[in-house]
């Protein structure tokens, strides 16, 4: 899914699912519902105690209206988690003890941008599905190891979330909107061994 506006979180979620499964309006509804729930928690009966703890007793604390989506259209990790849960997908901090099994993908947030990395097929190929790339990019073994350790595969600071649960089928056939990755298996396995 190519990048449009600031909707990289939406594009990353759909890239993981390998189809346009989640809409912008669904993500907006999830963000609004989360914002409303968070506001209720903060504004409830212990509001003064919470405000004192959060602000260290200083005045001038203001709630942001839309904390789970930016004005440019980007979404928080809470929105992504909530939108993917009904599809049987869980997002966990990569490299942490919470990982119950081998992830089939990663969501990476780096420099204000979400991108998806996904295992394709039964051959253990990992592909960078970043919506700003002209086409999917095959990852090296070193880049995959970084992701498993919770480090962004392109270096620098960022957040990495492992994707677990029901993996949607990998693209096997060439169809509209899906790139077929033609990879020489002998060349790929030689590169992984070095």
Evaluate whether 91 touches 129 at the Cβ level (below 8 Å): no
Q: Give residue 123's pLDDT.
A: 75
List the 89-93 sheet strands across, edge first: 89-93, 159-165, 105-110, 113-120, 125-128, 137-138
Q: How many helices (H) and strands (E) does the chain have?
A: 6, 6
Per-residue pLDDT reduced to its tens digit, 165-183: 988 877 654 445 544 444 4
Left (φ > 0), alpha (ψ -120 to 50) or beta: where does 88 sit?
A: left
Per-residue pLDDT reduced to its tens digit, 58-100: 443 445 556 788 766 678 999 999 999 999 999 998 876 655 6
Per-residue pLDDT reduced to its tens digit, 114-124: 999 999 877 78
Q: What is the SS3 assignment for 125?
A: strand
Alpha carbon 51 to its chain centroid, in Å, reads 31
Share of the chain above pLDDT 70, in %: 67
Give which of 41, 30, 31 is closest to 63, Cα–Cα: 41
- Of the ranges 141-150, 151-160, 175-184, which one carries the lowest mean pLDDT score? 175-184
């Amino acid at each position: 899914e190519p990048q449009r506006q600031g909707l990289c979180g939406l594009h990353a979620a759909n890239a993981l699912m390998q189809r346009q499964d989640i809409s912008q309006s669904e993500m907006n509804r999830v963000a609004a519902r989360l914002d409303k729930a968070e506001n209720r928690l903060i504004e409830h009966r212990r509001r003064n105690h919470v405000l004192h703890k959060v602000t260290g007793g200083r005045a001038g604390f203001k709630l942001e209206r839309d904390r789970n989506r930016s004005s440019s259209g980007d979404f928080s990790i809470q929105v992504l988690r909530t939108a993917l849960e009904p599809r049987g997908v869980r997002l966990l901090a990569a490299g942490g003890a919470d990982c119950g099994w081998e992830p089939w993908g990663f969501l990476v947030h780096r420099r204000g941008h979400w991108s998806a990395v996904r295992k394709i097929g039964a051959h253990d190929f990992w592909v960078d599905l970043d919506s700003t790339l002209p086409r999917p990019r095959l990852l090296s073994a070193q880049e995959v190891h970084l992701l498993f350790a919770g480090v962004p595969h392109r270096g620098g600071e960022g957040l990495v979330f492992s994707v677990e649960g029901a993996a949607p089928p990998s693209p096997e056939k060439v169809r509209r909107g899906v790139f077929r990755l033609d990879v020489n298996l002998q060349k790929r396995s030689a590169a992984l061994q070095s």
